[in-house]
Chains A and B, each alone.
Chain A
């Protein structure tokens, strides 16, 4: 157990290290001077421009040797200092991001968990049932091939613009004050529903198909044939197949995390939902480099944490890993 987690944690530590290094390297070694780019964009008066240049140079720490710049970067990072936002000057990037994160999590976590659960159940049910399989399979493939933002756009257009059932922009209406009242929570939920639904649907298609394919493989396995030859009921057989197929699906979930986060980002952009994705769009449009770099680190840390959670769950549900670990360590 210790060895398994030790290995995993080492990988995550190296990944974090690489990510931070990338975050530091790219602005410094890409063609073009980021300070000049930012100043050109800001188009300030000359004296203000000079002050800004001095400020940026010191913020980037460009006036010390390169190895010291790197160490300083780590030092600031560990203090939680990701610089100052340019778009929302003079707010620190960290607090801007922390305000957006709850919205993204509120979209992502329910969408991931529910689509994974429902997709697996449904895929297992559809496998080897000819009629259902033949109708559901193409639908599932089309859903999983749909770009997240396009499904979001379609839902916003059909259910929001045309039918008028749901609002299509923002986290809550402009005319309400955030509070813990039912009216506000209801308003929040109505804004939340469409982005959630588009994330859910795309994920659902993918998981259903993955599960359907896994079940078919499992039903062809020797143990399944043996059970069938013994005269075991079909339901029992399918239940065993489902349990075995669930493990690769769990690994698949870990592999898909990055894609899911990307999906949430673009869905937020479609609905102007005030999470990380919308923030990133604003940062790009306003050339807010610090905000983008901060968002990058936030996403990496989030994905690493989620990966670790999946590892823990995997150990909990698969007894073989526990036995193997005890034997190995």
Chain B
């Protein structure tokens, strides 16, 4: 991108003339990000795939009149005009299961990812900004949760729950997948907290929380957003793993549960590929698209990575 391009971008902002230098810089940064975002193929393709699946998850169950666990057709049918994705061993509609499973997938990703991001941010900002005893304590907590394998804890919790829903599952996943976020945010907060502009804010009498939210967090907002995307993908994969072991929702449908059922009722030796291919493909495409989107975002926010 040439210099005149970026000048045009700023000049195109009508409010630029009247605004203070700080807001101009901020608006300019935003404009620039948008400029690169619209031209980044990785970001656009990734976003497109995720949105397509999201639309399917929202609309699919409305179009389909029957529930995911209803026995609606002849068993073990190949995909056809009547049964788009075929039917299971018991005559359930694989397409209905798939679209309902997509809903669970997005719910788990959104809820689990958001909760983990929230805890990670609270712990990371507090430890990084306060330092001292708070840092020591939180650091120990982070390190302990970090080495405990998430799945093992979820395994033992889920075993003792008689009724398991998608929402509690997402919450438990969120509760145990935040440590690496806290660690990364703590390190970044450390380095930002010693900068001049933070000192200035402190001198002007701003409180700790205010400094974190107005001075420190905005300077890593792109990083925080990308962290959330990674957490989203991680939650989806963890949930799929848990569901596949047989600890999935007892009152709903999920993509991991579909695979669990397919393997349990020997879809493999029977060659019923339409039963186990869609759920795995759905997860792979959603999570893969999220990852590729993240690479695109990285290139948008980090000038060093842009290929000119």
Binding site for B on A (CB under 8 A): 11-12, 14-15, 18-19, 22-23, 26-27, 30-32, 34, 37, 137-138, 141-142, 144-151, 153-154, 156-157, 160-162, 168, 216-217, 220, 255, 257-259, 261-263, 265-266, 269-270, 277, 280-281, 284-285, 289, 292-293, 295-296, 299-300, 303-304, 307
Contacts and interface: CB of A to CB of B under 8 A. Distances in A.
A281 B245 contact: yes
Contacts of A23: 156
Contact of B147 (A11, A27, A153, A265): A11
Contacts of A266: 241, 244-245
Contact of B150 (A142, A151, A258, A263): A258
Given A147-B284, A255-B180, A284-B245, A303 B156 contact: no
Given A153-B276, A258-B150, A265-B245, A146 B284 contact: yes
A34 B146 contact: no
11 contacts: A11-B147, A30-B161, A257-B149, A262-B152, A265-B151, A280-B245, A284-B247, A289-B159, A292-B159, A299-B149, A303-B148
Contact of A285 (B240, B246, B256): B246
A18 B144 contact: yes
Given A168-B269, A258-B152, A15 B147 contact: yes
A292 B150 CA distance: 15
Contacts of B305: 216
Contact of B144 (A15, A145, A255, A295): A15
Nearest to B289: A145
B220 interface: no
B233 A145 contact: yes
Contacts of A289: 159-160
B280 interface: yes
B149 A300 contact: yes
Nearest to B239: A147
Interface residues of B, number: 53
A32 B160 contact: yes
Query: Which secondary structure characterizes the binding site on chain B?
Result: helix
The 6 tightest CB contacts between A and B, nearest first, are A150-B280, A258-B149, A145-B288, A145-B287, A262-B151, A30-B160
B193 interface: no
B288 A141 contact: yes
Contacts of A259: 149-151
B140 interface: yes
B245 A269 contact: yes
Interface in B196-252: 233, 237-238, 240-241, 244-247
Contacts of A162: 271
A299 B288 CA distance: 28
B268 A149 contact: no
Nearest to B305: A216
A289 B159 CA distance: 8
Given A168-B269, A269-B244, A27 B160 contact: yes
Contact of A156 (B152, B160, B268, B290): B268
A14 B162 CA distance: 30
Contacts of B144: 11, 14-15, 18
B160 A141 contact: no
A307 B149 CA distance: 11
Nearest to A304: B147
A246 to B, nearest CB: 19
Contact of B268 (A15, A31, A153, A220): A153
Contact of B246 (A161, A281, A296): A281
Q: Most chain-A CB neighbours within 10 Å: which of B143, B160, B287?
A: B160
A34 B287 CA distance: 37
Nearest to A133: B307
B72 interface: no
B20 to A, nearest CB: 33
Interface string B284-308: 1111101110010000000011000
B273 interface: yes
Contact of A258 (B151, B268, B279, B280): B151
Contacts of B237: 145, 147
B280 A307 contact: no
Contact of A269 (B148, B149, B263, B273): B263
B152 A161 contact: no
Contacts of B262: 153
Nearest to A11: B143
A151 B200 CA distance: 54
B155 interface: yes
Contacts of A151: 280
A274 B241 CA distance: 18
B269 to A, nearest CB: 6
B167 interface: no
Interface in B128-184: 140, 143-144, 146-153, 155-157, 159-162, 180
Contact of B149 (A146, A157, A262): A262
Contacts of A11: 140, 143-144, 147
Contacts of B162: 31-32, 37
Contact of A300 (B148, B276, B283): B148
Nearest to A292: B159
A220 B304 contact: yes
A144 B291 contact: yes
